[in-house]
Every structure is written in structure tokens, then in C-alpha cells.
Copies of this chain bind each other. A is one copy, B any other.
Amino acid sequence: MSPERPRRSIATVCLSGTLEDKLTAAAAAGFDGIEVFEPDLVAAPWSPAELAARCADLGLSIDLYQPFRDLDSTDPDRFARNLRRLDRKLDVVAALGVDTVLVCSSVAPDAVDDADVLAGQLAAAAARAAERGARIAYEALAWGRHVSTWERSWDAVRRADSPALGLCLDSFHVLSRGGDPAGLATVPAEKLFFLQLADAPALRMDVLQWSRHHRLFPGQGAFDLPRFVGCVLDAGYTGPLSLEVFNDVYRQADPARTAVDAVRSLQWLEEALALRRARPGPTPPAAPALSGWSFTELAVDGVSGPQLAGVLDALGFTHTGQHRSKPVQLWEQGTARVLLNASVTRPTAVGVASVTALGLESTDPRRSAARAEAMSAPVLPRARGTVEAELAAVAAPDGTQVFFTRTGPDGWPADFLPTGARPGPGTGITGTDHVGLTQPFDAFDEAGLFYRAVLGLEPQEVTELAAPFGLVRTRAVTGPDRAVRLALSASALRRGGWAPGVPEPQYVALATDDLVATARALRAAGAPLLPVPANYADDLEARLDLPGELLDAVREHGLLYEEDAHGGYLHLATDVLGDRVFFEVVQRLGGYDGYGTADTPVRMAAHRRRRQTRTAGRG
């Protein structure tokens, strides 16, 4: 652990599995400590002392025992019983060797409203704790019966005036209610006992359900965690930054993966804090600017390889290079470059084809790689990649290799021998607009944070669309100038056996300045364009006042068109090539900043029909 940064801790409730699984994952990911979530201990085979020993073996401190619920009561008998319950839990706390136990504000009908009575009961509890060498961190639940804001919890702690009583702050409980942490400056530093962190998406729902099901790690949601934590640190807090995330997906995802994702969220947060507070501190190398696409690499087999080559030819690409030592072709048009890597050795009837690598132009590839490593990204051994002249590639959460490259004579193109083929007239394709990648169900939020923290891209809003085989969630990650855009998508619910074509295909979206002209050229060259139903154009005509010329082109070439507040988007798709790749060709009009997701259901239904036709042997 570096002395300059706060300790990194994680509540065991964040991770899936038994307590044994959770500890192993937290330690492997490099956490300094844990919060013990009581139900995890109750179900564990270790005594508290054995757990403490296990944590010590793993190099993990135990920073908090939580939660103790519904302590205060308007009924003296019940309060006495609650104190007896606390005594038993203080036995556990002592055996664990923890110094802090979290008491959250009561949600019970008998919760105390009177500020002085509440302070008195908290003081009595703190006295019990102090006798055992422990202290109580009191937390306002956002749905507490009377105490639901940090201000109210501070009022109780202040009145109680006990050295063994302080505050536990939880970013979710404060920010979900629109609370302001700025006032924390008035709280004495020694009263800030503990800090729990969670991000969350902006949702309109019951706050308890929101909290229990939809929390996220910092950097994945809509809360301004850097500001929140900045306020707490400025107020003098010196304890750990501890994650407490209740999330339905993480509850059932591989804890080893989740723990790495969680550590990365703190690395991201620490960097944001260091930058925001404008003071020197240990930060990873800043993310170099990514100025565009070097290439997209597709893995193909003996069936899909020739098919893809033929389609690239029809799209107006030229096979300009051949890898010096591997079966990899380079195809180019404008700045759009596609590598066909015939490394798949077990061909299937329909052919294997998938996006395996992205080449992104970095102003400083070496620094990009150093940052990736600092942000817990798995750096790939150089020998694994297609491109050998470059320094580094990292694996994204979906397994895609991300290369940091420079397209110059000393960069990745040096790996390729020119074929001598001269570029033809092309079809108007100028470059790569974006790449669309279907994420594994468990990795959607992880991916957003990965691209944000590791590559310095900015995650955009999550949108949901009703696709033929279930809801699909999409989120773009983009560079500030949009030179790099990735469209990530995943099923809103993990799919079962019914949905055909799972996982959904990936695609490469190529840019043109005149899609109508490009479409005409593609059609003339025999590109396998996806047919769009006539009903689509009829609906477009009913919904939007489009020029007749444009509507005619939409009808003639099977184009898709949609608008956002800033402009329009004209696009087309090819058939699915091999088992899971297709191309799009897109034209952005005005300031359109989306990815055609409103049209996605139509595209998916059309792809489904082509698949059926192909399966039926008629296509």
C-alpha cells in the first residue's frame, strides 16, 4: 500500500459467493481491507477469531462490522433488549479485532424521533462499545424512519457527545436524496469514523429498492463521487475508502472479476480526486489522447475468410498488405482499415467471424500501456497479438484486444508487406465511425468503467431498446472529439435457450459523407446489403417530414434513418457474415451523436429473417 493514498476496502456484500470466495477475491485484487457484512459471517464456518486469522493471512484488515439495525426504541424494554443484542455483537466485534461497528438509523415503527432521547440511547450504546475498546459509526439510511439525512445523524452524534460515537457516511444515502456533502466541513474530523462508497444510475424508483438492487461502483453511475469524497477528505477523514455496492448482477457474477472491477473504480476515483484537488499525489500516467482508429481486426476461418474478403472488395476496400509472418490480410479504404486474421483453425459450416482486436491511435502508446497497467487492465503478452511492431495491447472485459498504436512507418503497418494492389475508386467510405460490441451479460457495467478508467473515454447514457428477442441495453464510450466511438450493448436480462443468434452479432460501422451515393456503389458491386421492409419507409414517411428524394433513396436502397435533437443518421447494414459480424455504413447529418439504436429492432428482425432463410437453405 502506498502511504499517500487512502486505504482501499470493500464490503463483503459486494461480492458473490461464500465468505471464503469473497476474501480470496478481495485479496487477489489487491484490497487492503474489508467490511464484514454480518450475514456473510453468520453463514461462515469460521469463528470470528478464525476469520480474523484468515484475513491476516491474506493481508486484509477488517475495517468495519456491519450492520447493526434498529438500535433505538421508544419502548424502554425493547431498547434494553436491543442493548443486550448489541452486547452479543460486541463479543463478535472483539473476537474479530475490529474497532468499529456500524449502527444504521432505525426503520422500525418504534424508532426514536426526539433528538435528545435518540442521542441518549446512542450514548448508552457507545458506552457499551467503549468498554470493549470499540466504537460506533452511526449512519443515516436514506429510508430511515426519522433519521434519513447525514445532517440528522450528525445532530444525534453531536448531542450524544461520546468519544466512541461518530458518523458513518455513505455516498448512496446522501446523494440518492439529493443531499449536499459541502456542510461536512463543519463536522470535526475525529467524528468522521467511516466512509462507504457507491455510485448509482439515475433512476426514478423507491429509494430502498434502488439501493438494494442497483448500486454501482464509483465511475459506473450518475453520482459525482469525486466531489462527494473530496468534501469528506477535506473535512479531515483519514479512514479507508470502502465500497458498499448492492447490485443484482454483481451478486451473481464471478467475484474474482468483480473485485478487479471494484479496485479499478477506486483507482479511477483516486485519480479524479488528485486532479480535482489540484495537489500532487500518486496518480497513474494520464491517458494519452486517442486520435482515431488504426484498424479493426476480425478473426475468420476457411469458410468466412473468403466470404469477408469478397464483401470487403464489394464495399470498395483494397487488399493492400499481407502480414510478414501470420495469415493476416490488411484491407483499406480511406482511413478505414480491416485486418482479416485467418487464425481460426476449427471452421464451421457457416464460418466463424468475430471482432478480436481494435487498433486505436495513441499519441503515446507506451504511456497508454503504462496507464492500462496502473488501472488493473490485463496487459497481453506481445506475442499474442497480430501486430508485433507495437508495444502493448490490453484485454477488454469482453476479451477484445485493444492495441495502442501509431499508424506510421515505424508503427504497426511495418508488420505488413505491400501486396502492390492499387486502391480502386472506392465507394465513398472515408473511415471508421464506430465499432459495436456485444458485451457478456455480467460485464456491461464493468466495460463502461474499463473504457473510462483505462482508455480515458467517456461513457454516455445507458439506453434501453425493445428488440425482438428481449430488451437490450446500450451505452457508447467516446473520446471527447468523437474520433473514437464504441457502442457497447448487452441483454437487459441474460438470454435463455429461445433467442436465436446469441450472442448478438458485432459490427464495424464505416463512415461516408454521402450514404445514398455509397449505397448505389455498393449495390452495383453486389455487396450483400440487408433488405429493409417497405413498412419501415412507410412509417418514416408518416412520422417525419422528410424530403421526397430522401424517402425515395431510403426505399430504393433499404436505408435506415433516425434523428436526435442535433441531427440525423442515415445508415445501412450488410447481412451477418460468418456467425457474428456485419458491417454498417453510416452518414452523420448535422450534430447527430447517436448510434442508430432506435432502428436496431428493425435491423435485428431483418437479420433474423436472413438467418432463417439461410438455415432453410434457400439463400
Q: Are A44 and B542 in contact (CB under 8 A)?
A: no
Contact with B along A93-124 (1 / 0, CB 8 A): 00000000000000000000000000000000
Q: Are B88 and A541 in contact (CB under 8 A)?
A: yes
Q: Are B16 and A252 in contact (CB under 8 A)?
A: no
Tell me, yes or no, whether A408 is within 8 Å of chain B by CB. Answer: no
Tell me, yes or no, whether A79 is within 8 Å of chain B by CB. Answer: no
Choose among B498, B531, B541 the residue that contacts A16 (Cβ–Cβ < 8 A). Answer: B498
Most buried by B among A47, A209, A531, A539: A539
- Give Cα A452–Cα B417 distance, bound, in whole angstroms: 71
Q: For residue A92, which residues in chain B have a CB less than 8 angstroms away from its CB?
A: 538
Q: For residue A88, which residues in chain B have a CB less than 8 angstroms away from its CB?
A: 538, 541-542
Stretch touching chain B among A180-188, A298-306, A505-513, A599-607: A599-607
Choose among B42, B43, B494 the residue that contacts A496 (Cβ–Cβ < 8 A). Answer: B494
Tell me, yes or no, whether A41 is within 8 Å of chain B by CB. Answer: yes
- Give Cα A602–Cα B40 distance, bound, in whole angstroms: 9
With CB as the reference atom, state the residue of chain B lying closest to A39. B601
Tell me, yes or no, whether A18 is within 8 Å of chain B by CB. Answer: yes
* A47-B535 contact in complex given A39-B466, A85-B542, A469-B17, C-beta closer than 8 Å: yes
A471 to chain B, nearest CB (A): 6
With CB as the reference atom, state the residue of chain B lying closest to A540. B42
Contact residues, A524-538 vs B (CB, 8 A): 531, 533-536, 538
* A609-B45 contact in complex given A253-B498, A441-B496, A538-B92, C-beta closer than 8 Å: yes
Q: For residue A543, which residues in chain B have a CB less than 8 angstroms away from its CB?
A: 85
- Give Cα A533–Cα B43 distance, bound, in whole angstroms: 6
Q: For residue A468, which residues in chain B have a CB less than 8 angstroms away from its CB?
A: 16-18, 21, 43
Tell me, yes or no, whether A470 is within 8 Å of chain B by CB. Answer: yes
Q: For residue A255, which residues in chain B have a CB less than 8 angstroms away from its CB?
A: 498
How many copies of this chain does one complex carry?
Answer: 2
Contact with B along A488-501 (1 / 0, CB 8 A): 00011111111100
Most buried by B among A16, A42, A249: A42
Q: For residue A20, which residues in chain B have a CB less than 8 angstroms away from its CB?
A: 609
Tell me, yes or no, whether A608 is within 8 Å of chain B by CB. Answer: yes
Contact with B along A477-492 (1 / 0, CB 8 A): 0000000000000011
- Give Cα A531–Cα B43 distance, bound, in whole angstroms: 11
Bin chain A's interface residue count: 35 or more
With CB as the reference atom, state the residue of chain B lying closest to A253. B498
Q: For residue A492, which residues in chain B have a CB less than 8 angstroms away from its CB?
A: 248
Contact residues, A541-561 vs B (CB, 8 A): 541-543, 545
Choose among B38, B466, B533 the residue that contacts A44 (Cβ–Cβ < 8 A). Answer: B533
Tell me, yes or no, whether A442 is within 8 Å of chain B by CB. Answer: yes
Tell me, yes or no, whether A155 is within 8 Å of chain B by CB. Answer: no
Q: For residue A466, which residues in chain B have a CB less than 8 angstroms away from its CB?
A: 13, 39, 251
- Give Cα A545–Cα B77 distance, bound, in whole angstroms: 13
Q: What are some 5 contacts across the A-B interface (CB < 8 A)?
A: A85-B543, A89-B542, A248-B471, A248-B493, A252-B495
| B-binding residues in A (CB < 8 A) | 13, 16-21, 38-39, 41-48, 81, 84-85, 88-89, 92, 204-206, 209, 248-249, 251-255, 440-442, 466, 468-471, 491-499, 531, 533-536, 538-539, 541-543, 545, 601-602, 604-606, 608-609
The 6 closest A-B pairs by CB, nearest first: A252-B470, A88-B542, A43-B605, A254-B498, A204-B206, A494-B494
